[in-house]
Amino acid sequence: MKKLVWMFSLLLAMPFAAQSAGGPAIELEPAENNLRDQNSLQRGAVLFSNYCMACHSLKYMRYNRIARDIGWSDEEVVAKMAYGMNSVVDDVETRMLPGVGMDVLGTEPPDLSLMARLKGTDYIYTFLRSYYQDGQGKWNNHALEGTSMPNVLEGIERHASSEDYAQAARDISNFLEYVGEPAKMKRMDLGWKVIAFLLVLLLLTYILKKEYWRDIKH
Ligand code: HEC
């Protein structure tokens, strides 16, 4: 029994150990995003199209899936995210031509479909907001020192209030969390129903067991 308790606590601790081993050097700001906030997801999708798709793809997503999940029609998603240039069944591909990233930035921008799963939503939020200018006025980032990604939200930071700037980063992070696991809300809604069903089943089987053993001496 003792051994079992040990093994169980080790299993519980494992994800935390894994996360702390590969984590970023700085403390992450909580994104405080909300996957149920459909307006935020829609704003995030538009911001993603305007500020990120010049370099990044979401190659595991199609436009029509996004439309269905965040409350747009097929026409709307193509108009708002692809300037009417793609078909709804297309994957969400970057507008950058192959090889340009390497030539201009020295590296290919990664696909962001699973980035929120890999690094966490708080990381994306923090990363977008951690740009600073060093002594020579060169941009760098506290979350990823020496990064070759430019400070793409600089314009918003400069011209909007700090709340609106934070909200823009939050909406983009929210959208990328949704993209990382499109069925997450369904899973969470279904989860408690399954648990409730199992509890009812437990009660019924317990009553049944009582009934079976009633006449047997034990
Ligand atoms: C001009 C091209 C460009 C644009 C526009 C751009 N990125 Fe990037 N991004 C890059 C490159 C290049 C990298 C790889 C950075 C590196 O490894 O140093 C990157 C990496 C990332 C990473 C991974 C960071 C890590 O820790 O590995 C995230 C997350 C990210 N970008 C999010 C975004 C978001 C969100 C936007 C839009 C708001 C955006 N990017 C816009 C070029 C771009």
Question: Which is the closest atom of ligand 1 to the Cα of 176?
Answer: 35
pLDDT at 7 over 90: no
- Tell me, what's the pLDDT at 19? 53
pLDDT of residue 25: 72
Task: Place 26 in a pLDDT band, splitting at 50, 70 and 90.
Answer: confident
pLDDT of residue 23: 59
Q: What is the pLDDT of residues 61-97, one digit of tens each?
A: 999 999 999 999 999 999 999 999 999 999 999 999 9
Distance CA 92, CA 176 (A): 13
One-letter amino acid identity for 199? L
Q: Who contacts 83 (Cβ-Cβ below 8 Å, separation ≥6)?
A: none
Averaged pLDDT of the chain: 92
Examine the pLDDT at 20 and tell me if it is beyond 80: no
Q: Is the pLDDT of residue 18 over 70?
A: no
From the number of C-beta atoms within 10 Å of its C-beta (0-12, 13-18, 19+), residue 147 rates as middle
Euclidean distance between the first and the last CA atom of the chain, given in angstroms as a whole number: 25
54 lines ligand 1 (CB under 6 A): yes
CA of 149 to the centre of ligand 1 (A): 5
Instruction: Look at residue 17 in the predicted model and tell me its pLDDT.
Output: 54
Ligand 1 near 58 CB (within 6 A): no
Residue to probe by mutation, ligand 1, list 43, 56, 94, 104, most atoms within 8 Å of CB: 56
Atom 3 of ligand 1, residue of closest alpha carbon: 55
Question: Counting atoms of ligand 1 from 1, which one is nearest the CA of 119?
Answer: 26
Q: What is the pLDDT of residue 4?
A: 66
What share of the chain has pLDDT > 90, as a percent?
A: 83
